[in-house]
Structure 1
Amino acid sequence: MDDNGDAPLVDALSSLHSLLLGAPGLEELLAKLADVAAKIVEPPASCGITTRYDGQPRTIVSSDARAAWIDEQQYSLREGPCLDALASGAVVDVADYLGENRWPQYVDTARTAGVKASLALPLIVDGQTIGAMNLYGYERPDTFSEADRERATAYAEQAATTLAFAARAVRQSELGEQLEQALASRSVIDQALGLLMGQEKCDARTAFELLRRHSQNHNRKLRDVAAALIARHTGRPAVDSREFDSGPSGRDTRT
């Protein structure tokens, strides 16, 4: 390898690290991940990044439409290097599609799309394969040199960490939304309990039992029953009481 053989990888990793430090949006981060991967080989390839969603392989981002289409053919045909990399956790290298016969239906489709060679690299974090990085070359058979393979393998290690970071961000976002919904529901339920306690002259436990029984008898969510009770007695929709914590200027208005 010449002195500048590692330059594309160094540039790629530097670009990826700068992006992470810049705290980009999730879509921007993933798009950059695929774009940079496509350019670490020479000539540049197409890149699709696959992960599993609800147990099914999905392309979450690609450097171009052609890579996404080729990925999708593998999913629909249930065969191909990408799926083998996902299943085995090993690199699947197709040097020449003209002589390839491991996946007959997929290979025919890929040839028609102009694919001459491909690399499918597993994305592994803590010993678990969480995805695959798929590189497609269209220039000639044996598109990927040994240096290309080394750079792609090193980049895949970084891409795996980035993908895991993205997945964690999504999970945290979903958990945050669920928590917000739970807190909002709790606020409405507490307001309804206060109404029932005043009406029925009962304690909180008894009021909750009345609310719960109504929820079960009418097959409605507890929050919906509580919101309906509030609306019926106030003539206004139920509101999350946490909205009252600060005034327009942000000043705490609680007493």
Structure 2
Amino acid sequence: MDVLGSVHSLLLSGPGLEDLLVKLAGMAAKVVDPPASCGMTTRYDGEPRTIVTSDPRAALIDEQQYILGEGPCLDVLENGEVVDVADQASEYRWRRYRDSALELGVTASLSFPLIVDDQIIGALNLYGYDRPNSFSEADRERAAAVADQAATTLAFAARAVQQSQLGEQLERALASRSVIDQALGVLMGQQKCDARTAFELLRRHSQNTNRKLRDVAADLITKLTGQAPVDTRTFEPDGDSDGPESG
């Protein structure tokens, strides 16, 4: 099976992020033989959370680790190294989790770190139920390829959110700039001064009153016009403002 080719096809098909991650989890579960369960974990507000699974069983196994505070998934999130549990019955690194995993039918597991730019952003966990030592070297290679693509997908999502937040911050900054520019125009007219002097007056008042420059500027405009200032960038020219009508 061409794992990378299949993953790239998923990327090109353009599903939503959650749908894509669900498909990646399902793919990871099926690239091993026999098929396993797959869960993807990341941290949210400092706490581990399962974001998608191939089936409800994987979510339950993940949740047991979160409750107990131990397990291969949490070790991967902490250390960024692959954790291979060949035989769950003889695994004693996490004694409480071992008992829970056996009760849930886990015989072997593989957990891969999701790393982007040297940062651990999550974990991909495979849980096998058929027999101990069920993951071959070929299974590991195929699952690792899916984990790499999951890390890339999560990274794209995180960067998209950051860009969106940056855009919102820029919009707010530009809106503030528009209000400040309007206030400077008012001060220049009132004080018969240049823009530099007007800005210094506005800045000094901001410091003396311990208020943001934008708020001081807005107050000045409101007192003069009787209305709160608006962002001049939102004004649209009339349809005939490009010039006189030809006749």
2:72 aligned with 1:85? no
Paired with 1:70 and 1:111, the residues of 2 have a C-alpha distance of 10
CA distance in 2, matches of 1:254, 1:184: 25
Unmatched tracts of structure 2, length 5 or more: none
Instruction: Report the 3-state secondary structure (helix = DSSP H, G, I; strand = E; otherwise coil) of the residue aligned with 1:120.
Output: strand
In the TM superposition, 1:149-188 aligns within 5 A as 149-188=140-179
Change (3 A) 1:218 1:56: farther
Query: Is contact 2:4-2:145 (8 Å) kept?
Result: no
1:244 CA displacement: 1.7
Shift of 1:190: 1.5
Q: Which residue does the alignment assign to 2:102?
A: 111
Amino acid at match of 1:35: G
**Matched letter for residue 171 of structure 1:** Q
Q: Which residue of 1 aligns with 2:228?
A: 237
Match of 1:29 in 2: 20
- Identity percentage of aligned residues: 72
Amino acid paired to 1:195 = V
Distance 1:170 1:142, change over 3 A: same
Instruction: Check if 1:94 corresponds to 2:85.
Output: yes
May I ask how many residue pairs the two structures share in their alignment?
A: 243
8 Å CA contact 1:31, 1:62 repeated in 2: yes
Shift in CA distance, 34/235, structure 1 to aligned 2, threshold 3 Å: farther
Determine the C-alpha separation between the residues in 2 that align with 1:32 and 1:227: 51
Equivalent residue for 1:192, pick from 173, 183, 186: 183
Query: Of 176, 183, 194, which residue of structure 2 is paired with 1:203?
Result: 194
Distance in 2, matches of 1:115 and 1:252, equals: 73
- Preserved CA contact (<8 Å) 1:46 1:135: yes
**Alignment partners' CA distance in 2, 1:73 and 1:230:** 59
Given that 1:192 and 1:227 are in contact with CA atoms closer than 8 Å, whether structure 2 keeps it comes out as yes
> Shift of the alpha carbon at 1:53?
5.2
Query: Which among 139, 151, 165 is matched to residue 148 of structure 1?
Result: 139
Higher mean C-alpha deviation, range 156-165 or range 59-68:
59-68
CA RMSD, Structure 1 to Structure 2 (Å):
3.2
> Of residues 9, 16, 28 in structure 2, which corresponds to 1:18?
9
Q: Report the counterpart of residue 136 of structure 1 in structure 2.
A: 127
Deviation string, structure 1 residues 20-73 (Cα, Å, up to 9, x no partner): 234444444334333332332344433222344566544444334543443344
Change (3 A) 1:52 1:231: same
Question: TM-score w.r.t. structure 1 length?
Answer: 0.76
In the alignment, what sits opposite 1:123? Answer: 114
Which residue pairs with 2:212 in the alignment? Answer: 221
- Cα gap change, 1:115 to 1:225, in 2 (>3 Å): farther
Segment of structure 1 superposing worse, 31-40 or 90-99 = 31-40
